[in-house]
């Protein structure tokens, strides 16, 4: 396809997958999916499939990296070689290093690192299948996995994107919209404070378009936050239910 104009992204007032402009893709969340991790989460968001796992807090080596006032949070985002149509070369690249960095910064704003001096908390985010918006899905899954691990947090982090396709502002871009649209705006927030911890933009928007995209992404992130809370609450109820069958202990 030689130009953006050749790809029709909106037909009869609907997007290619039948969604309205302000409608999220289907989202599925689950926690405690990995036995050997301290905490874990699995998410399907549209055609994205993402796993997140937490290990620690554990002693940080080498010792010169230790901080006596707080833990070190390390997030590693990885796009699996089989996650995209054309096989990706294994190992980190500039994009995965950048996403690992912004994810670490976003989550560091809510994790109570001061409670675990001289330690490290490792968060691994594995993109098993990619369909646009993977940094938002990975960050949301990582936040869930940290909560599942019982790591003290001031709040969860919830993320969502918005963007511009064929002159229209829409929420939660899928792959075709991301590839052939005019702009992508990923956003992550601390919901209870309404504080933004990640905001990036790839493309161009007018001031009014930016405001509309920001509002759509923010509302989308709040919807995701409610799903995160319901997922954790459901997991807790199952845990309590299972514990009730164990001699009451």
Q: Where are the domains of the chain?
A: 21-237
Mean per-residue pLDDT, 17-26: 97
Per the CB < 8 A criterion, the answer to whether 141 and 158 are in contact is no
Per-residue pLDDT at 172 exceeds 70: yes
CA dihedral sign, ordered 201, 207, 209, 213 = positive
Indicate the SS3 state at residue 203.
strand
244: pLDDT strictly greater than 60: no
The pLDDT score that the predictor gives to residue 248 is 45
Candidates 198, 230, 231; CA nearest to 77 is 198
Q: Mean pLDDT check: name the lowest of 8-12, 140-144, 187-191, 218-222.
A: 8-12
Whether CATH 3.30.230.70 fits 21-237: yes
Mean pLDDT computed over 187-199? 97
Task: Kindly report the pTM of this predicted structure.
Answer: 0.91
pLDDT at residue 249, rounded to an integer = 42
Q: What percent of the chain has pLDDT over 90?
A: 86
User: pLDDT of 220-240, one tens digit each?
Assistant: 999 999 999 999 999 888 777
Q: Looking at the predicted structure, is the pLDDT value of residue 123 above 60?
A: yes
Burial per residue of 11-27, b for 16 or more beta-carbon CB atoms within 10 angstroms, e otherwise: eeeebeeebebeebbeb
Report the C-alpha gap between 123 and 187 in whole angstroms.
20
In the 8-state DSSP scheme, what is residue 28?
E
d(CA 106, CA 31): 20
């Amino acid at each position: 396809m030689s130009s953006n104009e050749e790809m029709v992204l909106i037909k009869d007032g609907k997007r290619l997958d039948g969604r309205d402009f302000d409608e999220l893709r289907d989202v599925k969340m689950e926690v405690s999916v990995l036995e050997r991790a301290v905490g874990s989460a699995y998410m399907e968001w549209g055609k994205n499939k993402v796993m997140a796992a937490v290990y620690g807090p554990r002693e940080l080596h080498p010792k010169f990296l230790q901080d006596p006032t707080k833990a070190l949070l390390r997030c590693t985002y990885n796009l699996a070689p089989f996650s995209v149509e054309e096989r990706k070369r294994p190992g980190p690249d500039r994009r995965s290093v950048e996403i690992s960095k912004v994810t670490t910064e976003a989550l560091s704003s809510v994790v109570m690192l001061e409670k675990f001096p001289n330690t490290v908390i490792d968060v691994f985010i594995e993109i098993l299948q990619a369909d646009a918006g993977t940094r938002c899905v990975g960050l949301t899954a990582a936040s869930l996995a940290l909560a599942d691990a019982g790591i003290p947090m001031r709040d969860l982090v919830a993320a969502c994107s918005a963007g511009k396709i064929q002159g229209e502002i829409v929420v939660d871009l899928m792959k075709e919209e991301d590839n052939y649209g005019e702009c992508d705006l990923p956003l992550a927030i601390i919901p209870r404070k309404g504080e933004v911890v990640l905001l990036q933009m790839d493309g161009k928007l007018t001031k009014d378009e930016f405001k509309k995209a920001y509002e759509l992404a923010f509302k989308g992130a709040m919807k995701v936050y409610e799903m995160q809370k319901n997922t954790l609450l459901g997991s807790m109820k199952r845990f309590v239910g299972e514990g009730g069958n164990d001699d009451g202990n």
